[in-house]
Chains A and B, each alone.
Chain A
């Protein structure tokens, strides 16, 4: 049977049981604890899930209850998730970086009966709210370090769930077979159309909405990623999990793809140790959000800038060959010139491979970038080094499926690839909005029937994204922007801010950029500097500073960013050019109340403008002469 059809009729706990029976000794995942990567077999994982499911049932979790999980990606996160799913409960993750208000909103909206906290940090986030949440009955704590002085009756250690003594009973040391059989019974009671989990959207425009997804729909949806990238079916494909599992992409990577394909997730000791984890694991496959690709690229660039002249010259020469090779590869597919291929192989050995091996990227066969727009420069940079970066397009509302994806290997950057299995896609003739029809559309928003209704237009799901077909590559979709983010200048030009922002973010010194200009004469930008690279630059250039804010106020840093913007302007059409900019005096921190950034670090644009109103207005009204000169200049040019 077609795997998509088969999985549509299944549930994650059922697939887990099947794998535990079929290949009990195969490694399901590895999690680093006290310096060692502990290996968990499929059978071991299923037994653990069964134990935790029994524990959850003992504290009263039943079909239809909600279980909220908050914390960084770790093995226990996915065990709790699968255990709750096995009971028919609906799970949802809360971003580890969510602010108190967001936690409260999602706890109220989701109505969770059980809250799973990764460690004391998250216990501290939920306890002050707990009394105001009547439905919350238990708080499970995974890592009980620093918990000795907490005596709230609702607190239960995760270990007690595993041992089966969550309610103070004796340790349940029954045979593994009994646990496995118990899990099979639970899994058999689930229906593929039962709701499995909720994924909250990032909420750039309002409160996050919870997209409800059923068991079978999610499995079938994730299978469309495997169909699009057959490599994922290869057994033992190593990957590193560090993205939050509450995001649908994180869930795909850490939970679903391992279940339905060959991916083996590796969890580091802590998400903060990502660099070490990547270096140790040397993954074959990664799912990344553009921010990381951009950050790693910036680090490589800075490293090469600061290296000794001889090494730098070798690397730069290699980059020249690499650029030619990458261009040839985009133009003609497999490069035909043996000389160029040979030169590239030499460059790879001499320069690119050492760079990649420092990052742990040297064995990568596929990198999927999703979640936000990837700047073409960043994609091209990694492809020159020999990393097969493919951009995918998907949303929370597609239940874990991708809409389109670059097939590769080594696709030309600048589009999001071809349509994945199970979809029908058309562009709204009026505004170019992407409309979808297909098997993997989510079940509706949790608690928000009117929002669910709004998402549909004549039987098509309105994505809210504006797209266009790529002229250069037939069948390839290009993303233009979010429909509501378009800027119409007072001159009547319609511009896409994300296109310009992507070019700005191509600079290693710019961490985040927001272009402003709706109903204004010209475009301006708010810039958040990349603290690491700018601090590095400042040290190398004898610029003294005391902290983030003093760094942003430093004249030479402003000049540096100004030069980066001027460089970006050369790539932009005249109306798209940034005429003024301001550097944000503080780093955007999603954990702070009222910050104009979502836990996934997407900007809340409207809030950005009100929050930094003084900066924005200063860019427009401080210099009327300049505006006049611009206007006059435009006339002269015209």
Chain B
């Protein structure tokens, strides 16, 4: 039901609109305008942060589909990104392939890996599945290292900036546009998947596999589909990431990156695309926020200057603390907080929906 009164449906199409009421349209319009205006107002540092965030959004949404909706845990996210990145690096180094080849090739690699590493999920659950996806990570990183050393790129593969419609993508702003399209596209695709039979099947098998099967859902098929969908998006993210950095190396895809993506999903709030976006923003900006705070403290209190040297340690500690706090106090994540704030104002001046109708 729409949040405001006076929106009646005359076609089913109106029922599936993503933005419905006037308030939603205005808010969405303002948000899009702000996103478009950002690169022209921001300095290069902020622009780089924005680009990183948009990339993280793609990855977080992809993982959210798998973990938050289909309920399949994965620690192989960084490995899949690495697969996309290496695929891009290898193809452009060996064949001089353009982005029009490397991007689909990365996607195909991701899809293939999704099938292979989705297969254990048909038998394994929970912790065991997590460990089997971890294997993916190490295998991909190992193969990448092998390639680097055998071909003599032991410090990493350097890739030339890609050319798109005659434009060379080097400028931060140009990348911003690409990433904005990628992130926006991923969010839209995810939202639409979730409203289709596929998404409903994922939710059902998250709820309980036996019931999902009883509902007529082909459980193995939809599980694999979840892995394939998520891996494909992640591998494409790896491709873009490789071009943006201009450099591919196994070190960039540590296990910590996987943990960070899991953290985005948890902090953002399981089972919410908006949560994935919020989680991506939060986790990407968090270390910079801590750094800024440490800077503030050491400026205000000269005797605390030593903190500056420990900023990395503080960062890890604070990140761990935030994770624990969210798990304990806000399992619904940022999306849960957002929903509560939204409900507070939507219900205004009531607390719950008191109006059950006039009766007879």
Q: Classify the secondary structure of B's interface with A.
A: loop
Asked if residues A299 and B6 are in contact (CB atoms below 8 Å), the reply is: no
Residues of B within 8 A of A272 (CB): 357, 360
Residues of B within 8 A of A354 (CB): 348-349
Asked if residues B354 and A315 are in contact (CB atoms below 8 Å), the reply is: no
A258 interface residue per 8 A CB criterion: no
Tell whether A303 pairs with B8 under 8 Å between CB atoms, given A35-B15, A311-B349, A355-B349: no
Asked if residues B348 and A303 are in contact (CB atoms below 8 Å), the reply is: no
Asked if residues B349 and A315 are in contact (CB atoms below 8 Å), the reply is: yes
A518 interface residue per 8 A CB criterion: no
Asked if residues A306 and B351 are in contact (CB atoms below 8 Å), the reply is: yes
Give 1 or 0 for each of B337-360: 1 = CB within 8 Å of chain A CB. 000000000001111111111111
Asked if residues B8 and A281 are in contact (CB atoms below 8 Å), the reply is: yes
**Contact residues, A327-368 vs B (CB, 8 A):** 351, 354-355, 357-363
Name the residue in B7, B12, B351, B354 with the highest tally of chain A Cβ atoms < 10 Å from its Cβ.
Answer: B354
CB distance from A121 to the nearest CB of B (A): 13
Q: How far is the CA of A306 from the CA of B231 in the complex (A)?
A: 48
Tell whether A35 pairs with B9 under 8 Å between CB atoms, given A271-B360, A295-B358, A296-B358: yes
Residues of B within 8 A of A47 (CB): none
B309 interface residue per 8 A CB criterion: no
B26 interface residue per 8 A CB criterion: no
Name A314's closest neighbour in chain B (CB-CB).
Answer: B349
A280 interface residue per 8 A CB criterion: yes
A279 interface residue per 8 A CB criterion: yes
Tell whether A292 pairs with B358 under 8 Å between CB atoms, given A35-B15, A362-B5: yes
- Determine, out of A36-44, A246-254, A426-434, A443-451, the stretch whose residues face the partner at the interface: A36-44
Asked if residues A363 and B357 are in contact (CB atoms below 8 Å), the reply is: no
Asked if residues B5 and A282 are in contact (CB atoms below 8 Å), the reply is: yes
Size of A's binding interface in residues, CB under 8 A: 46
A304 interface residue per 8 A CB criterion: yes
Partner of A275, one of B10, B11, B348, B355: B355
A231 interface residue per 8 A CB criterion: no
Residues of B within 8 A of A30 (CB): 8, 10
Q: How far is the CA of A271 from the CA of B358 in the complex (A)?
A: 10
CB distance from A297 to the nearest CB of B (A): 11
Name A238's closest neighbour in chain B (CB-CB).
Answer: B6
Partner of B357, one of A32, A274, A303, A315: A274
Q: How far is the CA of A296 from the CA of B6 in the complex (A)?
A: 18
Asked if residues A280 and B10 are in contact (CB atoms below 8 Å), the reply is: no
A580 interface residue per 8 A CB criterion: no
Residues of B within 8 A of A369 (CB): none
CB distance from B2 to the nearest CB of A (A): 8
Name the residue in B1, B4, B348, B351 with the highest tally of chain A Cβ atoms < 10 Å from its Cβ.
Answer: B348
Asked if residues A282 and B354 are in contact (CB atoms below 8 Å), the reply is: no
Asked if residues B354 and A306 are in contact (CB atoms below 8 Å), the reply is: yes
Residues of B within 8 A of A39 (CB): 10
Asked if residues A36 and B12 are in contact (CB atoms below 8 Å), the reply is: yes
A559 interface residue per 8 A CB criterion: no
Q: How far is the CA of A273 from the CA of B15 in the complex (A)?
A: 18
Q: How far is the CA of A307 from the CA of B358 in the complex (A)?
A: 20
Residues of B within 8 A of A306 (CB): 350-352, 354
Asked if residues B359 and A295 are in contact (CB atoms below 8 Å), the reply is: yes
Asked if residues B351 and A357 are in contact (CB atoms below 8 Å), the reply is: no
Residues of A within 8 A of B352 (CB): 303, 306
Asked if residues B1 and A276 are in contact (CB atoms below 8 Å), the reply is: yes
Residues of B within 8 A of A304 (CB): 349-350
A566 interface residue per 8 A CB criterion: no
Q: How far is the CA of A304 from the CA of B354 in the complex (A)?
A: 9
Partner of B8, one of A266, A292, A300: A266
Name the residue in B6, B348, B353, B358 with the highest tally of chain A Cβ atoms < 10 Å from its Cβ.
Answer: B358
Asked if residues B8 and A299 are in contact (CB atoms below 8 Å), the reply is: no
Asked if residues A357 and B5 are in contact (CB atoms below 8 Å), the reply is: yes
Q: How far is the CA of A303 from the CA of B351 in the complex (A)?
A: 7
Q: How far is the CA of A70 from the CA of B360 in the complex (A)?
A: 16
Residues of B within 8 A of A532 (CB): 356, 359
Give 1 or 0 for each of B58-86: 1 = CB within 8 Å of chain A CB. 00000000000000000000000000000
A63 interface residue per 8 A CB criterion: no
Which residues of B does A touch, CB under 8 Å?
1-2, 4-12, 15, 348-360
Q: Which 3 A-B pairs have the closest CB atoms?
A: A282-B6, A275-B357, A303-B354
20 examples of A-B residue contacts, CB within 8 angstroms: A30-B8, A32-B8, A35-B9, A35-B12, A39-B10, A272-B360, A275-B356, A280-B5, A281-B8, A295-B359, A303-B349, A303-B352, A304-B349, A306-B350, A307-B351, A311-B351, A314-B349, A355-B350, A357-B5, A362-B6
Which residues of A does B touch, CB under 8 Å?
30, 32, 35-39, 97, 266, 271-276, 278-282, 292, 295-296, 299-300, 302-304, 306-308, 311-312, 314-315, 351, 354-355, 357-363, 532
Extra 16 A-B pairs, beta carbons < 8 Å, given A276-B1, A299-B354: A32-B8, A35-B9, A37-B8, A39-B10, A266-B8, A274-B357, A279-B5, A303-B350, A303-B354, A306-B350, A354-B348, A354-B349, A358-B355, A362-B5, A363-B5, A532-B356
